[in-house]
Chain A
Amino acid sequence: MGQIEWAMWANEQALASGLILITGGIVATAGQFTQWYLGAYSIAAGVLVCLLEYPRGKRSKGSTMERCGQKYLTRVVKLFGPLTRNYYIRAFLHLGLAVPAGFLLATILGTACLAIASGIYLLAAIRGEQWSPIEPKPKERPQIGGTIKQPPSNPPPRPPAEARKKPSEEAAGVPTGGPQENPMPVNDEVV
């Protein structure tokens, strides 16, 4: 099990916990349960956790599948720098967010799941993992005119066919200098 990046699983677990916190909070607040203000807190905590965890970090090995539309949140999460990069901070943040919700039955499941996510993040932090944003690759714009090294060597108007020698093979990437005499030195490009 040497190649596992625990942070990836912790991320899924935390996202699920955030959703569970929000659901439990809505039930408690809408049902006007006793201590429903804890339910309201749970909704807020759940939303914060979801926003933080939605952008998936980049895997250190291999390609990472982005979540749909995560690039906007990636920019926001990136702004916090080391606060969001470091998994120790995330582990303790999740643990802290989970505790108040543990006092209300409707949200206690969210507490348990978020505490587990916090534990997995702690494991990830101990193993030195870090959150790095998935950046969109800059589009390589082909340089206009970058592949033209020399102007054409025999532009029209050309002398009639008898005065020219015909080229003897197709341009299949295997040029051999050619029998044509060029007025200027021409470099051929071998791929």
Chain B
Amino acid sequence: MGNWVVNHWFSVLFLVAWLGLNVFLFVHAFLSFEKATKYYYTRQILGFYRSTLRKQLDHNLAFHKLVGYMICLHTAIHIIAHLFNLERYSRSRQATDGSLASILSNLPHQENYSWLNPIQSPNTTVVYVTFTSIAGLTGVIITVALVLMVTSAMEFIRRSYFEVFWYTHHIFIIYFIGLGIHGLGGIVWGQTEESMAENHPHKCAEFFDKWDDPASYCKPPQFEGLPAESWKWILAPGILYIFERILRFYRSQQKVVITKVVMHPSKVLELQMHKHGFSMEVGQYIFVNCPSISSLERHPFTLTSAPEEDFSIHIRAVGDWTENLIRTFEQQYSPVPRIQVDGPFGTVSEDVFQYEVAVLVGAGIGVTPFASILKSIWYKFQHTDHNLKTQKIYFYWICREMGAFAWFNDLLASLEQEMEELGKVGFLNYRLFLTGWDSNFAGHAALNFDKANDILTGLKQKTFFGRPMWDNEFSTIATAHPKLAVGVFLCGPQTLAKSLSKCCHQYSSLDPRKVQFYFNKENF
């Protein structure tokens, strides 16, 4: 638990501050409607006096979901509250007992500001009032839009049918425009300041039968609506978003030249590209859009190249868009499709070089950010750049199929060779794990047991079969580096993230001067 706090204290602080601000704003608005004199008559007509019940930029996706949930929660509260309001307006309109509420309801609608009850006659239904007012109509429309956005964004739908999620989510445009318009009608009605001088509720409320009497000092009250306020909240983020779309459009217009296309086994496509003015750091990712496949969709891919060379990405076929892309590139006789690139954007993998010891774990295609890091290390050693803080790297690559290792086989082979030449054999410690093995593989491995190189990959390090035993690995690393901060980086599935983060907490020593494991993960 202590380690978790150490790792996440900033996120926790930020979330607490944000939630606290939300709570404060809600309570402030609530108390204002509950207690302010301006809304005294409004409260009367709604019967409140009687009732006793008076409610990190890398984690941008998680924060977006949190904001979404908060919007849903507040939408529910807002709708339920207004439902009660409308029902009570309707009751007050139909009251004939001469109470304050009924007098207030009967204030004439002919003059513009002397009425209080928006329901004009006892025969009007609340449904009619809802659909003929700006607030009601926009409210219903944007709530339906919100429900559609939420149901199409459920994890199951998002992972299985991405296009449904992507295109439906764009109705947020309707949502925000409707939200801005929602308050324009000024339907929340309160007494004006001048009127309170002539008819202060604390003095005049009891004498409501005398308001029409010209001799009394209480004149009939005048009201005005609360102006629309939601646009103030939407304006700044809306402008930022529009800027980002413009920037995205500008970047997408720039020419991207595809210099090399390589088809790898296990349905992986490698694209090497060049774009004028593009510069990257290790482990960053770009958004790729291919207009001939889909004009609106764009998907993120980690850059697998080092900053010292032309940038490249490895794309694995996992869904409609990727499969179409690979099929288009496989046809050799048609022209190469145009690609638009936006980015690069950063992820946690940029921090690898801040640690003296780094543990990199990649599952399947999740090896891509680490390929970029390893390539960069290769270049750094080539140019004898020995200012690297990182002294030791433990690299684990876990794959289901044999063919997957072919993606970066030559990279690992050339790294092995380079380390030998430079005499730094201890620098890179890598293990490959093949989880989808059968007894054929095991048989071959047993037969070739005494050969120097692994028969599957040709590398010096033998391929392991099955999954890594993390407890063993972590305890070995912890004993080998008892006084250092070790960065653990994962790009892979959620289950692996859980076991790794558990190991990080378990093997980090409670003494902050001894070995500490810091867990960083990314996945899309």
Binding site for B on A (CB under 8 A): 1-5, 8-9, 12-13, 15-17, 20, 23-24, 27-28, 31, 33-34, 56, 59, 62, 65, 103-106, 108-109, 112-113, 116, 170, 172-174, 191
Q: Which residue of B lies closest to A35 (CB)?
A: B125
CB-CB under 8 A from A174, the residues of chain B are: 443, 447
Give the top 9 A-B pairs by smallest Cβ distance, nearest first: A172-B446, A173-B443, A12-B151, A13-B151, A4-B161, A105-B126, A33-B87, A191-B439, A1-B163
Chain A residue at minimal CB-CB distance from B152: A9
> In the complex the two chains form, what is the Cα distance from A28 to B127 in whole Å?
13
Nearest A residue to B76 via CB reads: A23
Please give me the residue from chain A that is nearest to B156 by CB atom: A65
Contact (Cβ within 8 A) B151 A27: no
User: Is the C-beta of B469 less than 8 angstroms from some C-beta in chain A?
Assistant: no
B390 at the interface (CB under 8 A from A): no
- Specify the chain B residue showing the minimal Cβ separation from A102: B127
9 inter-chain pairs at a CB distance below 8 angstroms, sorted by A residue, are: A1-B320, A4-B161, A5-B160, A34-B87, A34-B90, A109-B147, A116-B144, A173-B440, A173-B446
State whether B156 touches A105 (Cβ < 8 A). Answer: no
Q: Restricting to B89-142, which residues have a CB under 8 Å from any CB of A?
A: 90-91, 125-127, 130, 140
Besides A31-B87, A172-B443, A191-B438, 18 other A-B contacts (C-beta < 8 A) = A4-B161, A8-B161, A9-B157, A12-B151, A15-B151, A16-B147, A17-B147, A20-B147, A59-B160, A62-B160, A103-B127, A105-B86, A105-B130, A106-B83, A108-B127, A112-B144, A172-B442, A173-B443
B442: A residues at CB distance < 8 A:
172-173
- Contact of A109 with B144 in the complex, beta carbons under 8 Å: yes
Q: Residue B377 at the A interface, CB < 8 A?
A: no
B480 within 8 A of A: no
Per the bound structure, the CA–CA distance linking A104 and B73 in Å amounts to 22
Contact A9 B143 (CB under 8 A): no
Q: How large is the interface on B (under 10, 10 to 19, 20 to 34, 35 or more residues)?
A: 35 or more
A3-B446 contact, Cβ under 8 Å, with A108-B127, A113-B144, A116-B144:
no
Interchain CB contact under 8 A, A27 and B83: yes
Let me know if B215 is at the binding interface, CB within 8 A: no
* Interface pair B164/A9, CB less than 8 Å apart: yes
Question: Residue-by-residue, is B430-454 near A (CB-CB < 8 Å gives 1, otherwise 0)?
Answer: 0000000011101100110000000
Please measure, in the bound complex, the distance between the C-alpha atom of A20 and the C-alpha atom of B144, giving whole angstroms: 11
CB of B258 within 8 Å of the partner chain? no
Q: Mark B144-160, 1 if CB is under 8 A from A, else 0.
A: 10011011101011001
Chain B 19-44 residues near chain A, CB threshold 8 A:
none
A5 to B86, CA, bound (A): 40
Cα distance A191–B439 in the bound complex, in angstroms: 7
Interface centre among B90, B140, B143, B151 (most CB of A within 10 A): B151
Closest beta carbon of chain A to B422's beta carbon, Å = 38
In the complex, the answer to whether B447 meets A172 with C-beta atoms within 8 Å is yes
Residues of A within 8 A of B226 (CB): none
Q: Is the CB of B161 within 8 A of A5?
A: yes
A173 CA to B143 CA, complexed, in Å:
64
Q: How far is the CA of A15 from the CA of B352 in the complex (A)?
A: 44
Pair A105/B127 contact, Cβ less than 8 Å: yes
Please, how many angstroms separate the alpha-carbon atoms of A170 and B156 in the complex? 48
Residue B18 interfacial (CB < 8 Å): no
- Measured between C-beta atoms, what is the minimum distance from A20 to chain B in Å? 7
CB-defined interface of B412-435 with A at 8 Å, one 1/0 digit per residue?
A: 000000000000000000000000
Bound-complex Cα distance A31 to B47 (A): 13
At the interface, yes or no: B84 with Cβ under 8 Å from chain A? yes
Whole-angstrom distance between the Cβ of A73 and the nearest chain B Cβ = 17
B257, CB-defined interface residue at 8 Å: no
Are A109's CB and B140's CB within 8 A?
A: yes
Q: What residues of A have a CB within 8 angstroms of the CB of B76 in the complex?
A: 23
A18: min CB distance to chain B, Å: 12
A15-B90 Cα distance, complex, nearest whole Å: 32
In the complex, the answer to whether A9 meets B161 with C-beta atoms within 8 Å is: yes
Complex Cα distance, B144 from A113, in Å, reads 7
- Give the complex CA separation of A16 and B146 in angstroms: 11
Residues of A within 8 A of B157 (CB): 8-9, 12
Query: Which residues of chain A come closer than 8 Å to B496, judged between CB atoms?
Result: none
From B144, B151, B443, B447, A9 is in contact (CB under 8 Å) with B151
User: Which partner residue on chain A sits nearest B129 by CB separation?
Assistant: A105
CB-nearest residue of chain A relative to B320?
A3
Minimum C-beta distance from A45 to chain B (A): 17
Instruction: Specify which chain A residues have a CB less than 8 angstroms from the CB of B156 in the assembled complex.
Output: 8, 12, 56, 65
Q: Which residue of chain B lies nearest to A13 when distances are taken between CB atoms in the complex?
A: B151
Smallest CB separation, B513 vs chain A (Å): 44
Q: Which of chain A's residues have a CB closer than 8 A to the CB of B17?
A: none
Shortest C-beta distance, A183 to chain B (Å), equals 29
Q: Are A13 and B148 in contact (CB under 8 A)?
A: yes
In whole angstroms, what is the CA distance A15 to B130 when docked? 26
Docked Cα-Cα span, A1 to B160, in Å, equals 12
Given contacts A8-B157, A103-B127, A174-B447, are A108 and B87 in contact (CB under 8 A)?
no
Nearest opposing residue in chain A for B438, CB measure: A191
CA A65 to CA B80, docked complex, whole Å: 33
Q: How far is the CA of A172 from the CA of B442 in the complex (A)?
A: 8
Is B79 an interface residue, CB under 8 A from the partner? Answer: yes
With a cutoff of 8 Å between Cβ atoms, the chain A residues found around residue B447 in the complex are 172, 174
Residues from chain A with a CB closer than 8 A to the CB of B154 are: 12
Considering the complex, give the chain B residue whose CB is closest to the CB of A3.
B320
CB-nearest residue of chain B to A6: B164
Nearest-neighbour CB distance to chain B for A112, whole angstroms, equals 5
- Min CB–CB distance A107 → chain B (angstroms): 10
A178 to B151 CA separation, bound complex (whole angstroms): 65
B140 in contact with A112 (CB, 8 Å)? yes
* Chain B residues within 8 Å of A31, by CB: 83-84, 87
Assess the A16–B161 pair: CB atoms within 8 A: no
Residue from B76, B164, B438, B439 having most chain A Cβ neighbours under 10 A: B164
